[in-house]
Structure 1
Amino acid sequence: MMKRKKNLVEDSTTLIGLSDHPDQTYGSMEACAAAQEDKNVFSDGVTRIDFVLVWEESVNPLKSAESDELSSGSSRDTHRKWRTEFLSKLQTAGLHLETKEVVQGKTKTTYALLSAPWNVLCYYAEEISIRVPLQVVTTPISNWSERILEKLHIPNIMAQDVPNLPPDYYTCQFRTNKLERY
């Protein structure tokens, strides 16, 4: 067993210090938490981001014109058409959408930020019959096959000893009108 030197700086305050520039370092936990809070919302500062879609496109007009001629121009247009149709269907379904574009050199990266409002989440939870917990099961869980194997003195190769077993719940299908019961 090797002994390690004690660090003078506590690990909980500094994760990785790569440089003095806050935007180019992973830095301390406080700086990461503050920066993370600002980045996880839409530009309105309130709506939280649930999902991000990202795609890249070439911005060089000469290169794109040449590649369009080679691929008969249909591939790029087809992808653009599918993408706009997909994003419009997401908005029709009730999701909030915000797009941000970043141009770096010859590529344009587009970020589509998506947020699902509570009423949309409730609607689709009912639609797919998601099961939600109602109450903790208080009766002990018995495994009948384990008891039979034990009586026959046969080792149970499927036995699992799980520490801190999570509680088991009675569940039912999600319904918005029964929300206070969950």
Structure 2
Amino acid sequence: MIRIALPTLALIALLTGCVAAPEVVSESPAASNPTSDVSCERAEPEVIDMTGATWQHPQSSFYDGTEEVIPGEYDLEHLLRSDNAIVVIYDRENLPDAAIAPLQGWITYETAAVALPSTDEPRAPIEVRLPGSLVTLCDGVDIIQLDALSQSRTFGEVEEHGESSEEE
């Protein structure tokens, strides 16, 4: 029962107004795990103009690419700017299923987090976006490094807002 309840609670926390979302403590360097073959490095964020943009909260924390609708750039940028979320974009074409399965399991237990396949030319097998325009590119999935990046955020307050830009 706990195994079922925790993913449900994580999804509810992401989708119900995000009242206790994490915020970035400081600019943390790319995470490292000395026992891993996966390497990560900081990268320049893409600048996204949100002027007049419409957004909505994702309906799931993990997308495998078979869904009819997945979150777009404005949805993801809203999560980063307003909900202090962690966004993981993965290269579905070049990342083996054996690497995607642990990513799916990990993201399910994270608060204010979403993982989805890249819809454009991916910059790396894994692109991790954090609040404050922090971007880390990794050449594979390493849960220890993902944990370290996620934990660079601390829980804080965010402004109350609806589930989409139409509710504001």
TM interval, short-chain normalised? under 0.3
Q: Which has the higher contact order (CA 8 A, sep 6+)?
A: 2
TM-score by length of 2: 0.24
More strand by share: 1
| TM-score, with structure 1 as normaliser | 0.22
Q: Which structure is larger by alpha-carbon Rg, 1 or 2? A: 1
